[in-house]
Structure 1
Amino acid sequence: MSDTVQSTGPAERPDAATAHAWAALGGGPEAAATVTYRPAPGALQARLPVRELARATVGVCSLAAAELVARRRGTPLPAVQVDEAAVATAFVSERHLRIDGRAPTSFAPLSGFWRAADGWVRTHANYPHHRARLLAALELAGSPACAGADPARARAALAAELAGRPAHAVQEAVYAAGGLAVAVAPAPPGVRTAGLPLVETRGLGEGPARRLAPAALPAEGVRVLDLTRVIAGPVATRTLALLGADVLRVDPPAVPEDPDAHADTGVGKRSTLLDLADPEDRRAFDALVDEADVIVGGYRPGALAAYGLTPDALAARRPGLIVAELCAWGHQGPWAGRRGFDSLVQAASGIAAVEADADGHPGVLPAQALDHGTGYLLAAAVLRALTERHATGGGRLIRLSLAGTASWLLTGVVATQSDANAVAAPDPGPWLTETASPYGTLRHALTPVHYDGAPRTWRRPPTRWGTDRPAWA
């Protein structure tokens, strides 16, 4: 089999954001120039160039998939054309999801922007334990308003408490209690994201070339351990499952996942529960590692090190292993160990200030674009690492962060369309489908990842969270 991947046509001037992201992934400029887009000018409208970021992340993911399948088959690079309407639909997949006709709730009542004594605070309280820690930090845990079932009373109590406290003091008190809140940073960009790289990667141990047999799909036969939660990591592994990988998600049994979130991002995957502190469960996990090709982690930096699961230790156990790590705030620096979500990174990076309303109320992007964009970049990085391992061997450590993607959006992505030219958003209908699942009938977004011959949707629905055996298919 030849290792030469050829273009299907003459190179053109590449989209700038696509070229930048592809270079960050270690790809050559000739391939980036072959990626084309079917425009949807009204997609993901914002002051910041969200449309350009979104299509570029899907574009490089599609190109990485095309590159790998061409390498495996020894054929020319398939043409890559991405539809911006499909991208816009997929970037808000959680909003389009319906389960037997029911629309999930994206944000809990105590998640959002709140006036503080000297500015604004953004909270995240979607999970019960995060809500409890937020209220405990603000001495509201025993409040009748917050203990009752009336969300309006709880919101009023929280608003009154936060209005009398400085934003930074709230941020630090909630963090100390294990909760989630950040002070909203002003524009221009805040220090929390300045200068962070889009992608970090290095070799991880040595090993012979691990050649993948010819296959219909790029990641067919690849085994992926998915140690991620919420959106970015699950979007990455959902994409790898689409492209043929056997993806097994592993969660601790003590921290249940929201079933609606899993219905959206668990498609194509299986799900099992293991407590790494339990000796029997740890043996089961180690057996999975021994046959894995890729481990994708979404825990805070250092969280898995307590179990001896550093990237180098994993690679020593499984030579040639690809370890992909995702976090909120970057892998170094004073905030590296903090919990975070897309909404919080938007607030602390200056994005919320850039997108603010005319009255100064902080704004949001038209999608959780840091989550989704980072997810497609992470999948692209894994696919590129598989391509490189196919030829040269050795493992790879890959690191991305939501804050790194925010930094790119704020300073590195060039807009191609101004707000003055805004038009109606594209119709999502052609990019939605229905699938029977253990959760009920799902209406969900189709994948935006595309190259000639790519699958349009997943081979299986999500299984119920935590119900599969800890074993490879």
Structure 2
Amino acid sequence: MAGAEPNVHAIVHQLWSTLDLPPLPADALRLTGPAHTLPSSYHLSLFPPAAIGATALAASLIRSHRLNLQSLSPVSVNTLHAAVEYRSEAFTIVNDAPPANLWGPVSGTYATADDGIVGIHANFPNHAVAALRILGLPEDCTDKDAIAAAVKRFDAIALETLASENAAVIYALRTPEAWNALPAADALPDFPITIRKICDAPAGLPASLKNIANPTSCLQGLRVAEISRVLAGPIAGRTLAAHGADVLWIHGPHLPSLPDLDIDTSRGKRSTFIDLRDDAGKDTLQTLLASADVFIQSFRPGAIAAKGFSPQAVAAMNPSGIIYASLNAFGEAGPWSHRRGFDSMVQLCTGINASEAEYHASGEKLKKWPVQALDHTAGYFLALGIIAALHRRIVDGGSWEVHVSLAAVAKYITSLGRIPNREGFDRAIGLPRSADSPQVHPFLETRETRAGVLTAVRHAGHVDGAEVGYRHMPTELGYHEAKWESPS
């Protein structure tokens, strides 16, 4: 894309060719809708249709393997629908109740002693407690003025460093130049999806796919074990589920959850509890992985390996071949690889928020993106990498490892350049804030669930001739047995 204005098709073709997938037909991706949906000085509007479209094309590629088709079926994406899906968590409504506030009372941005700004991400109770301890406040404090006064005693980078050493999630606002000068930035790959072979395994369709003679959806029967939380990892699993995969979402029964987010990201999945603190839980997961096709995990690097589930160990559990997919905030290597991080914090510390404020020129020190674009893009990119690795397993054999990080996605998005001055903000149509908007309504579906009547965003990627959508609706966490579905 060097020297040319970026566009959706160019991004899709770059993703596709870099992942070494078969050449795309000229008419493989059909786009409808407005070109500029998300106000930003970056080419942010291109990523919802590109990421969702590329993933749907990859699912179509797997369908072509299953049905012995000469070419993959075309995919269609409406750009506004894709942008709305990038804010799916905000358009999820249960029993007509107003959408919940997804931010914890401690979370927010605060001024520091050196005239800087830090963000505190404390939606999980343990992260809130850790932040308040550092600030010298009671563990149940929700007084924003008291929190702001406590933060004001620290310099920004000093507080960020203290947080990283004490299990809290606090990051300082930086410029892009300040971020790029750090070793943590230098350690990131230029391409946001890493795929590498773990070991040899037989080529051909996995048994779970061969056992279904006439699949109605691209990934029907694919067995996916997912251990992830918040947005990016669950979005990857949800995307595979939208194309028919059997996704078993695994939670530790002792871990905190975010039910107002979970109801959106658990669509299409079955939920089960497995406790990896004891041998019985580890045995249960090992049994599942022995016949799984994909394992998604979003622990920080090394954490799940310490429990006996490294890529090499999981591949040894499943000699037929498996895709081991990992996601984290700051990459696999470098001095920040073990740090906790979330979309808003990565936007803050990598310079995105400062540079958006500069281009918007309204006197603000920071300006956030209108959607959690790092989380959503990383989720779709992880799903894309998984399906690309599945293609390699089918054609060449082997077990494969896939990795995506929020910071590498930020690097990729920002590498495509800027839209001059305020033009990127002024020409975008923007997204409505409410699901009641006529713009949003065509992209919603209403379904009965165990939690009540759920209205949520449908998946935006459509494959000609294949069903796309969510077979399962949200349940209580742990509702299902830790078993795979029977072929149908």
Q: Taking structure 2 as the reference length, what is the TM-score of the superposition?
A: 0.88
1:353 maps to 354
Partner of 2:133: 136
Matched, 1:105 2:101: yes
Q: Is the 2:124–2:256 contact (alpha carbons within 8 Å) kept by the matching residues of 1?
A: no
Match of 2:90 in 1: 95
- The answer on 1:421 being equivalent to 2:427 is yes
Determine if contact 1:234/1:375 at 8 Å carries over to the other structure.
Answer: yes
CA distance in 2, matches of 1:364, 1:77: 38
Cα 1:55/1:305, change in 2 over 3 Å: same
Q: Unpaired segments of 5 or more residues in structure 1?
A: 1-12
2:475 alignment partner, SS class: coil
- Contact conserved, 1:269 with 1:463, CA < 8 A, in 2? no
Query: Which shows bigger deviation, 193-202 or 270-279?
Result: 193-202
Describe the SS at the equivalent of 1:106. coil
SS of the counterpart of 2:456?
A: strand
1:137 is paired with a residue of what secondary structure?
helix
2:3 maps to what in 1? Answer: none
In structure 2, what residue type is equivalent to 1:393?
Answer: G
Per-residue deviation, 1:31: 4.5
Secondary structure of the corresponding residue to residue 435 of structure 1: strand
Partner of 1:116 in structure 2? Answer: 112
State the number of aligned residues: 453
Matches of 2:241 and 2:368 in 1, distance apart? 30
Shift of 1:278: 0.9
Secondary structure at the counterpart of residue 209 of structure 1? coil
Aligned to 1:406: 410
> Aligned pair in 2 of structure 1 residues 425, 138: CA closer, same or farther (>3 Å)?
closer
- Cα RMSD for the two superposed structures: 2.0
| Alignment of structure 1 residues 7-406 onto 2, 5 Å | 15-31=9-25, 34-75=28-69, 76-102=71-97, 103-118=99-114, 119-141=116-138, 147=141, 151=142, 154-188=143-177, 190-191=179-180, 192-193=184-185, 195-196=188-189, 197-211=191-205, 212-213=209-210, 214=213, 215-319=215-319, 320-356=321-357, 358-406=362-410
Task: Look up the SS of the partner of 1:15 in the other structure.
Answer: helix
More off after superposition, 221-230 vs 187-196: 187-196
Residues 286, 317 of structure 2: 8 Å contact kept: no
Task: Out of 234-243 and 352-361, give the one that drifted further.
Answer: 352-361
Structure 2: 5+ residue runs without aligned partners?
A: 1-6, 433-438
**C-alpha separation between the residues in 2 aligned to 1:380 and 1:137?**
39
What is the one-letter code of the residue matched to 1:34?
Answer: A
* Kept in 2: contact 1:300–1:339 (CA 8 A): yes
CA distance in 2, matches of 1:172, 1:189: 15
8 Å CA contact 2:270, 2:472 repeated in 1: no
Matches of 1:14 and 1:263, distance apart in 2: 30
Judge conservation of contact 1:324–1:398 (CA < 8 Å) in 2: yes
Q: How many angstroms apart in 1 are the aligned matches of 2:271 and 2:345?
A: 27
CA distance in 2, matches of 1:63, 1:158: 47
Task: Indicate the SS of the match to 1:444.
Answer: strand
Q: Which amino acid aligns with 2:332?
A: H
Q: CA deviation at 1:138?
A: 1.2
> What one-letter code is carried by the residue in structure 2 that aligns with 1:169?
A
The whole-number CA distance in structure 1 between the counterparts of 2:135 and 2:443 is 43
Secondary structure, in 3 states, of the residue corresponding to 1:202?
strand
- 8 Å Cα contact 1:81/1:450 also seen in 2: yes
CA distance in 1, matches of 2:130, 2:170: 11
Q: In the aligned structure 1, how far is the partner of 2:465 from the partner of 2:185?
A: 38
Q: Could you list the per-position Cα deviations for residues 43-67 of structure 1 after superposition, in whole angstroms to 9, with x for gaps in the alignment?
A: 1221211111222111110110111
Does residue 473 of structure 2 align to residue 461 of structure 1?
A: yes
Q: Distance in 2 between matches of 1:461 and 1:413?
A: 40
Distance of 1:161 and 1:72 partners within structure 2? 59
Given candidates 428, 442, 446, the residue that maps to 1:434 is 446
User: For residues 58 and 129 of structure 1, what CA distance do their matches in structure 2 show?
Assistant: 33
Structure 2: how far apart are the matches of 1:65 and 1:193?
32
